[in-house]
Amino acid sequence: MFSGSGAARFLTYLFINREPFSPAMGEEIFRDMEPFRIKMVEPIHLPSREDRERFLEEAGLNVFLIRGENILIDLLTDSGTGAMSDRQWAGLMMGDETYAGSRNFYNLEAAVRDILGFEYVLPCHQGRGAENVLHTALIKAGDVVPGNTHFDTTKAHIEHKKGRAIDCTIDEAADPYLDLPFKGNLDLKKLEDVYKQYGREKIPFTVVTATCNSGGGQPVSLENMRKVAELSGRYGIPVCLDGARFAENCYFIKKREKGMENMPIKDIARETAACFDMMTMSSKKDAIVNIGGFIATGSREIYDSVKNFGILFEGFVTYGGLAGRDLEAMARGLYEGIDEDYLTYRIGHVRYLGEKLRNMGMPVLWPPGGHAIYLDMKEFLPNIPQDQFPGMAFCAHLYLESGVRGVEIGTLLNGRDPDTGMNRPAKLELVRLTIPRRVYTHRHLDYVAKAVKKVWDMRDSIRGLELTEEPPVLRHFTARFKWVE
């Protein structure tokens, strides 16, 4: 729909979008601003152009390998990068470092029961720790795990257990400009086809990622989750929520789903969790902590099958690789993550950057995601083939021009086909500008928008990249490159 010129995109924008900061919406202006004040600051610094060139060269052109102190504004990830509140910091001082039975564990357990309704909670050091424990207990070689655009660590853990992830996202999600409210939804027909083909025997569970990180931070509707639960129930297949951003997903449900506008976020969280047999959580996202995660389930049987692997990989069942103080920060953060004033600001803040970039004619995946803005590299750098990693080339130039760090969500991240060894060209070739929680102001985002525009203006001179070093799993973290001649 917006594949035309920047001017056409801008005009379309004017006609179909409300301006969220128009003065007629006084209440909205208040609600979109930061619902906190700042009592501690951390200086940031822009290295000289010369130094940025050197840092990038030393990093093998992979911005992942640049030291954090040499980044001005870091939009690599929203994972563990949020600013904790004074209440959370105070909670750190209340850490009970008892090996077994720390009081902070019981506070976490109570928070999960209260917000999500899951009876059993197994803390893990982060989301992939939870995946490792759960997948080890449930997946055997040859199994398939259907879902909606599995997150990279989820897919890697499934493949590590010699299973296979099958993507059942709705086709519409592949159109980066189709303005739909729930582009994270699963296609029930695709899902049922997988159920029919493989059956309960080969499907240990289905995973629903909400919001869907690798699909552009797009939400999943409550209606869709209920239908997935109903269908899976008929086939006897358990369903797992990958709930790293469940709170942001709840906010989208409240704003976009018919009949949900008056339901408190906490109730929507309960309704969401009720669709699932279990959940893996990276608390580094919506629980706004720097480290932490958990598995939660209402099923004693599932809990019993995972807890021994929890002890083996993560630590005793009441700490899971975390200090007592971390558990306390997580228990408190879970409540802050579902606060509606916070979520209004959070989702509005991300949208602010998206609208700014779109107003300047940039190809922005639409609608904006919950935690990030995604730039469409197929439009941004159409002359760079996918196996020359246009997203990585963009990130390298964004850093050179501005000290801002983004991250490729495309063919590099997608990895290679385990059967053929070929690059898997990503359906959506994206760069993600991920917004940490409560860290950067709107003014920082203005700078980011200008930086992206600068790269846009020089896009014709940007070359592709060639791999010089490639690790076998999760290659995007440590791969190295040179410019294509």
φ, ψ for residue 326 (rounded to 5)? -65, -40
| Catalytic residue of the set 99, 304, 417, 446 | 99
- Token representation of residue 153: 């660590």
Question: How far apart are CB 129 and ligand PLP at their closest, in Å?
Answer: 7
| Catalytic residue of the set 2, 118, 120, 151 | 151
Which residue, 298, 293, 295, 303, is CA-closest to 329?
293
Question: How far apart are CB 395 and ligand PLP at their closest, in Å?
Answer: 19
Q: Are the C-beta atoms of 410 and 63 separated by less than 8 Å? A: no
CB burial of residue 322 (10 Å; 0-12, 13-18, 19+): buried
- The smaller minimum CB distance to ligand PLP, of residues 213 and 402, is found at 213
Distance CA 250, CA 230 (A): 20
Question: How far apart are CB 159 and ligand PLP at their closest, in Å?
Answer: 14
Distance CA 479, CA 464 (A): 15
| Catalytic residue of the set 157, 183, 285, 427 | 285
| Catalytic residue of the set 143, 198, 476, 479 | 476
Q: Are the C-beta atoms of 370 and 248 separated by less than 8 Å? A: yes
Question: Residues with Cβ < 8 Å from 356, sequence gap 6 or more?
Answer: 445, 446, 449
- The smaller minimum CB distance to ligand PLP, of residues 83 and 462, is found at 83
CB burial of residue 57 (10 Å; 0-12, 13-18, 19+): exposed
DSSP string, 186-229: B-HHHHHHHHHHHHHHH-S-EEEESSBTTTTSB---HHHHHHHH
118 is catalytic: no
- The smaller minimum CB distance to ligand PLP, of residues 91 and 243, is found at 243
Distance CA 297, CA 122 (A): 9
| Catalytic residue of the set 152, 167, 286, 376 | 152
Q: Which residue has the closest beta carbon to ligand PLP?
A: 127
Distance CA 97, CA 182 (A): 42
Question: How far apart are CB 158 and ligand PLP at their closest, in Å?
Answer: 12
Question: How far apart are CB 264 and ligand PLP at their closest, in Å?
Answer: 24
193 is catalytic: no
160 is catalytic: no
Q: Are strands 407-409 and 372-376 parallel, antiparallel or unpaired?
A: unpaired
Question: How far apart are CB 155 and ligand PLP at their closest, in Å?
Answer: 10
- The smaller minimum CB distance to ligand PLP, of residues 207 and 237, is found at 207
285 is catalytic: yes
| Catalytic residue of the set 32, 78, 143, 242 | 242
Question: How far apart are CB 255 and ligand PLP at their closest, in Å?
Answer: 21
List Cα–Cα distances, 333 to 41, 215, 321, 340, in angstroms.
20, 25, 18, 13
130 is catalytic: no
- The smaller minimum CB distance to ligand PLP, of residues 297 and 388, is found at 297
Please tell me whether the peptide bond between 318 and the residue prior to it is cis, using omega within 30 degrees of 0: no
- The smaller minimum CB distance to ligand PLP, of residues 47 and 184, is found at 184
Identity of the residue numbered 343: L
- The smaller minimum CB distance to ligand PLP, of residues 284 and 325, is found at 284
Question: How far apart are CB 241 and ligand PLP at their closest, in Å?
Answer: 10
- The smaller minimum CB distance to ligand PLP, of residues 207 and 384, is found at 207
65 DSSP 8-state letter: G
244 is catalytic: yes
Interaction site with ligand PLP (CB under 6 A): 79, 126-128, 151, 153-154, 209, 213, 242, 244, 282, 284-285, 293
Residues annotated as part of the active site: 99, 151-152, 242, 244, 285, 476
